[in-house]
Structure 1
């Protein structure tokens, strides 16, 4: 089985060749026995909740995604800028792959943001390969994770590659891609005629949708003198609901809308500087990532732009496309065996 998985700072997205997908916040917390589970409907389906146990002499018990947000006191996003080691994203990967693989061996394609990719990808690949053979319990069901191959591919390039393979890129000139993630925004130019990326116009902007969450958190802190947990703010943003904090109710969705405009202007400004001598040549700019719609208005002032279909899954779908092509070529090279 081939699976493309994007363990983003904000959300983990995974797509299998079967057509199945999973999507959940990249949040991990310590798990425990839930004696009241199912007594009250909390607005999420059982499929949205991931409880992971890694058996052993010292079993590891995790709540992941929405379950961690709603139940784990220590829910957090376990990401640092250094991602050469898979240990901190291991629960997310095991949950996503376990939910899709049905116990079958997996060719997994994943990646990193453009800026750290070439430095950190070799180490991450080796670390991921060592996870092969891990046995887990996912929502009570036993699954053994086996990797036949681990393929690394840069984010943003993955989104562009997937769009190309699906026939979504029809221009013959220069096209751009802006991939707005949770913590970073990748930008890349691609010469569709020559079928190659323009390396001098690639950049990773250290800003994303998390900036909106932090800005809302800071505004609440200025008003009441203390900051709410960022996961509480994020949950209010995700669900589009107010946040009650320190005996006050805050219109988090409304506050987030105002902060999103600031993010859009920042991204557009960096795009304009990096691509300054190519802006007049651009045929179209494709927008990908969970924050694509947030920057559309600002980027459209620079060039014609389009939000990719299912933009949040653009990299995961691109990784899957890369895996499908790579495996097909390998079989062709072996005479179809």
Structure 2
């Protein structure tokens, strides 16, 4: 008997992160029907080959990003089952997996208790046929494990030597997961890792809001700057559009400072009665790469290693510690 190959997937509102035995990576959490005609501006992307999941062809990741009918969970309140299925299939393809697999993934912390059982049941036994470029693979999800996001990232942080060496013996440890749509906070007892219910919560602001804030200000000067330039504005504040160079680095800097203070203000309000008990505060999520330095300066917290991949690496580590056989 052989151990089931593991596919760990973190399907976020903007990015999909995946880890398997041989592969790990990130791609945009976007799919679009293959038949959609792309604009001339992005005609180079049409040279790519669509992925076919259970007979339906899709562009995914960057190949779908500029499609008029692109679907992404960042535009919706919840991830749909169909979208999640296609994105997990794409992750399996990128990981070169086929046959029976062990899927390890997560749910938002505030939904975990109510939706763990029903979500595991929905995934267990799924059989997906995936084709690309004339090659066909079939996967069968033979085992499933779900972990709460945020708590998973904390477990990953504890596995890091740099964090383990400073992990307190008492008090509370909190992890602030700066995501695309929400900022999720997970707080546990340092000695037992028991979650503190009142200190595990979601703040309904995320990196998407910061990007939109920068874009709104930029549009006052360049009204025609398109929505998809928001990522570039957040990353560097500079770029070229229609042969016109723009520089919004100061807007970017001021917006990040303002947004970081907004997040910290919300944290201080939520932790008002427990702030003295926080022995260690950590930052993770894709937003930590943009906001981490600023938040760390105004709030006693530090960015963990590989903050964007923290949850999915925990999913993989947890699954690897178990024994499921084909």
Q: TM-score range by the shorter chain?
A: 0.7 to 0.9
1:324 equivalent in alignment to 2:320? yes
Any conservation in 2 of the 1:9–1:182 contact (CA below 8 Å)? yes
Q: Distance in 1 between matches of 2:142 and 2:296?
A: 41
1:128 equivalent in alignment to 2:123? yes
Q: Distance in 1 between matches of 2:135 and 2:245?
A: 40
C-alpha spacing 1:272/1:282, structure 2 compared with 1 (3 Å): same
Corresponding residue of 1:148: 142
What SS does structure 2 have at the residue aligned with 1:218?
helix
Q: Distance in 2 between matches of 1:68 and 1:171?
A: 45
Q: How far did 1:8 drift?
A: 0.7
1:14 equivalent in alignment to 2:9? no
Range 164-173 or range 101-110, more displaced: 164-173
C-alpha spacing 1:100/1:184, structure 2 compared with 1 (3 Å): same
Any conservation in 2 of the 1:31–1:72 contact (CA below 8 Å)? no
Any conservation in 2 of the 1:292–1:311 contact (CA below 8 Å)? yes
C-alpha spacing 1:50/1:171, structure 2 compared with 1 (3 Å): farther
Gaps of 5+ in 1: 332-336
Q: How far did 1:153 drift?
A: 1.1
Deviations 1:227-263 (A, max 9, x none): 733x342255458752527x86543565433322222
C-alpha spacing 1:30/1:24, structure 2 compared with 1 (3 Å): same
Any conservation in 2 of the 1:201–1:274 contact (CA below 8 Å)? yes
Corresponding residue of 2:104: 109
Q: How far did 1:115 drift?
A: 2.1
1:242 equivalent in alignment to 2:239? yes
What SS does structure 2 have at the residue aligned with 1:3?
strand
RMSD (Å), alpha carbons: 3.3
Q: Distance in 2 between matches of 1:164 and 1:27?
A: 32
Any conservation in 2 of the 1:26–1:92 contact (CA below 8 Å)? yes
What SS does structure 1 have at the residue aligned with 2:95?
helix
Q: Distance in 2 between matches of 1:235 and 1:101?
A: 31
Equivalent position to 1:211, from 209, 212, 219: 209
Deviations 1:54-106 (A, max 9, x none): 253xxx2222112222x5233342353234x5213222111012211521421
Q: How far did 1:123 drift?
A: 3.4
1:194-205 map, 5 Å: 194-205=192-203
What SS does structure 2 have at the residue aligned with 1:194?
coil
Q: Distance in 2 between matches of 1:184 and 1:144?
A: 34
Gaps of 5+ in 2: none
C-alpha spacing 1:206/1:33, structure 2 compared with 1 (3 Å): closer
Range 181-190 or range 290-299, more displaced: 290-299
1:186 equivalent in alignment to 2:184? yes
Q: Distance in 2 between matches of 1:55 and 1:253?
A: 45
State the number of aligned residues.
Answer: 314
Deviations 1:35-58 (A, max 9, x none): 9xxxx988xxx9xx78311253xx
Corresponding residue of 2:31: 28
What SS does structure 1 have at the residue aligned with 2:279?
strand
Corresponding residue of 1:172: 169
Deviations 1:153-210 (A, max 9, x none): 1110110112234554332122211110111111122212133122221110111111
C-alpha spacing 1:192/1:237, structure 2 compared with 1 (3 Å): same
C-alpha spacing 1:55/1:108, structure 2 compared with 1 (3 Å): closer
Q: Distance in 1 between matches of 2:254 and 2:283?
A: 20
1:19-168 map, 5 Å: 19-32=22-35, 51-56=50-55, 60-69=56-65, 72-79=67-74, 80-83=76-79, 85-129=80-124, 132-138=126-132, 140-166=134-160, 168=163
Q: Distance in 2 between matches of 1:14 and 1:27?
A: 15
